[in-house]
Amino acid sequence: MSHLSIDTVVTPPEWAMLERLLIDAQVEAIAEFQTKYFDSRGYLLCIPRWGGNDGPDDAAENMLNWTVLYALGADRAVLDRYRVCWEGHLQQYTEAKTVEVEMARDGMYYKEFPVMFDWYHHGEWLSSFILEGLADPGDRIYNERLRRFAGLYMNEDPQAKNYDPEHKIIRSLFNGSRGPLLRKATALDWAGDPVEIEGRFRPGHGEGTFAQMLDHFKDYNDVVGDHPLNLGATTLGFNAYALTGESKYRDWMLEYTDAWVERTKANNDLIPSNIGLDGTIGGEADGKWYGGCYGWGFSVINPANGEWSHRPACLSRTHYSFANALLMTGDFSYLELWRKTIDIINSNAKEIDGQTQYPRGYGDDGWYEYKPEPFSTGAFETYYWSQDPADRERAGSNPWQNYLDGKDDSYAVKALHCDLSRLQTKRAMLANDLSTPDCRMSDDMNRINPATTDALIRLMLGGLPTGRDGYPLHCRVRYFAPDRQRSGLPEDVAALVTSMDADSTTIELVNLNQVTARQVIVQGGAYGEHQITSASTGGETASIDDRFFSVDLAPASGCEIKIGMKRYANSPTLAFPWS
């Protein structure tokens, strides 16, 4: 492994002290959060329910960002607490059963996976678990669990025939450990068993009664057939490959992704929102390519306010699925589908009341739901992946990108102060929450969860915040502490990505410890996908030609390193540098 030694003494910069403060403060806050909202077994202190409002996925979201926070360099206690709560919630929701909802009468989880639901919610449920591999890929239980989960979509489980290899489809929007739902879904399937609402609970969609909860989902019926949200399952294939290196996971993931690429080409470059059980576009939606639940034309009345609500979820996260294929293969052509989607939508703009407006949906009468701003979902992410100037134009203005372009030197400090303020707000919410467990829904605590990592991921890694979408971490660099044989920055060390382009990434490293040296390993990408070609610092350039290099930081030292790299040149792996 190539090696740099840094002994230039620097005055500790404000961003570095704020960064370490934000990491350390979250360790403390997570301990307070766990103590209040989980029991000693890791069971969430709430009323366990099934459904799209406050179901098991929301229970798992109370651990959102914990695993990636540890992978950034937080104390081991964060990972330990996550494991207690993750294992506890698996058991809790395996034991929890519905009475009236058919699919969950024998348990909401089966084989430690939701019995049957959509990938909008599966992705949210899996968000912390997917990133656990960055924290400790050698964990045996994690390895077994990930293989089992991926196998649910590769027909390795005889009880979960989710995938049709002939037509290359996942057979229903509702799928899971008991297979696909091959009938129309009911409002009860989505809302869960009847429950007292008024004076007791505060449903996240604003309903005041259980009748309104049912009414919210009354049109969520057409789930049979494949849907773009199901591409979220490729994250399981990606992660299983990165963990094991077994080609079957890569092969399945690309087979399924490529099938969607071909369907989209056949549909005039617009991704269809329903594929029939026979493989035809719109086959379970009366031939309408835009049909189905969460489709392009999916608009419903919100019973909480009586207004139209437009929910084409097929457009909300799908771009990340094609980025899974880019991460796996290094083939930038996987981004082309989403570029064309953005361009086609915006090419159908029209003048309304003297103003150019852009559509968001497509239904029986053509394009609709016009807004003054161009459609831009996934536009910035596409530019992040491609670094193509044409994609930058689609993406528009972005404060983080302005900083990377040298237009706002104050961005890092402001962003860290903002997240510290957000953390303090959440701690105040926790202290002021007087609710009892029998009056809590599983999602009530989501807004209080103190793990706050967006600024850290951008600034430390040059990465896209992972959020709650259930996809891998996309970043330019990642760090390891070899003395403790763990992922993340060593204690007292801070890192800042100051600029990026297609071929290089510039970082600053600072050792805040005034008496003890630290060693850090810098890796290209979260999964070693970027090959590092060189590292330049202090006027000297070292040739690297590896996934990583190490840096020795003398006490109180710091440096700027410009890293040359070939992006997406390597197969992804979760293996640590010393494995």
Q: Tell me which of 297-311, 332-346, 403-417 is least confident.
A: 297-311
Closest residue by Cα to residue 168 from 122, 117, 233, 103: 233
**Mean pLDDT value of segment 5-10:** 96
Q: Where residue 269 falls among pLDDT bands split at 50, 70, 90?
A: very high
Tell me how far CA of residue 416 lies from CA of 29, 119, 397, 511, in angstroms: 16, 32, 20, 18
Question: Read out DSSP for 515-574?
Answer: S--EEEEEEESTTS-SEEEEEEETTEEEEEEESEEEEEE-TTBEEEEEEEEETT-S----
The helix (run of H) or strand (run of E) holding residue 487 is strand 486-487
Kindly provide the b/e burial profile for residues 46-65, where b requires at least 16 CB atoms within 10 angstroms of the residue's own CB: bbbbbbbbbbbbbbbbbbbb
The owner of tokens 């656990």 is 132
Q: Where residue 246 falls among pLDDT bands split at 50, 70, 90?
A: very high
Closest residue by Cα to residue 230 from 267, 262, 272, 288: 272
For residues 454 and 464, what is the distance between their CA atoms, to the nearest angstrom?
8
**Residue-wise pLDDT tens digits, 453-478:** 999 999 999 999 999 999 999 999 99
pLDDT at position 263, please? 98
**Residue-wise pLDDT tens digits, 481-507:** 999 999 999 999 999 999 999 999 999
Mean pLDDT for the chain? 97
Kindly provide the b/e burial profile for residues 17-27, where b requires at least 16 CB atoms within 10 angstroms of the residue's own CB: ebbbebbebbb
Question: Read out DSSP for 373-408?
Answer: SPP-TTHHHHHHHH--HHHHHHH---HHHHHHTTS-
The owner of tokens 């071909």 is 262
**Mean pLDDT value of segment 402-409:** 96
**Residue-wise pLDDT tens digits, 503-558:** 999 999 999 999 999 999 999 999 999 999 999 999 899 999 999 999 999 999 99
As a whole-number percent, the residues of the chain with pLDDT over 70 amount to 100
pLDDT at position 1, please? 86
pLDDT at position 561, please? 98
How far is CA 400 from its chain centroid? 19
pLDDT at position 206, please? 84
**Residue-wise pLDDT tens digits, 215-242:** 999 999 999 999 999 999 999 999 999 9
pLDDT at position 33, please? 98
Q: Label the pairing between strands 350-352 and 355-357.
A: antiparallel
**Residue-wise pLDDT tens digits, 311-358:** 999 999 999 999 999 999 999 999 999 999 999 999 999 999 999 999
pLDDT at 304 over 90: no
How far is CA 194 from its chain centroid? 31
For residues 303 and 405, what is the distance between their CA atoms, to the nearest angstrom?
45
Q: Where residue 55 falls among pLDDT bands split at 50, 70, 90?
A: very high
For the record, the structure tokens of 95 come out as: 């034991």
Q: What are phi and psi of 494, to 5 degrees?
A: -125, 150
pLDDT at 434 over 90: yes
User: Can you tell me whether residue 308 is helix, strand or coil?
Assistant: strand
For the record, the structure tokens of 181 come out as: 């739902």
Q: Tell me which of 238-252, 295-309, 360-374 is least confident.
A: 295-309
For residues 360 and 346, what is the distance between their CA atoms, to the nearest angstrom?
9
∠ CA 148-153-159, nearest 5°, is 75
Q: Tell me which of 18-27, 205-214, 219-228, 259-268 is least confident.
A: 205-214
Please report the beta strands in 99-180, taking only residues with DSSP state E, as ranges in sequence order.
109-110, 113-114, 163-164, 169-170
pLDDT at position 207, please? 86
For the record, the structure tokens of 171 come out as: 């057979």
**Mean pLDDT value of segment 89-106:** 98
pLDDT at position 575, please? 98
pLDDT at 305 over 90: no
Tell me how far CA of residue 578 lies from CA of 2, 223, 568, 574, in angstroms: 13, 46, 21, 12
The helix (run of H) or strand (run of E) holding residue 367 is strand 366-368
Question: Read out DSSP for 213-260?
Answer: HHHHTTT----BSB-GGGGGGHHHHHHHHHHH--HHHHHHHHHHHHHH
pLDDT at position 83, please? 98
**Mean pLDDT value of segment 38-61:** 96
Half-sphere exposure in the Cβ direction for 265 (13 Å, CA): 9
Half-sphere exposure in the Cβ direction for 430 (13 Å, CA): 22
- Is the pTM higher than 0.85? yes
For the record, the structure tokens of 384 come out as: 């992040």
Q: Label the pairing between strands 558-566 and 531-537.
A: antiparallel
3-state helix, strand, coil in the chain (%, to 5): 40, 20, 45
pLDDT at position 214, please? 95
The helix (run of H) or strand (run of E) holding residue 352 is strand 350-352
| H-helix segments, 438-504 | 454-456
For the record, the structure tokens of 30 come out as: 């997570």
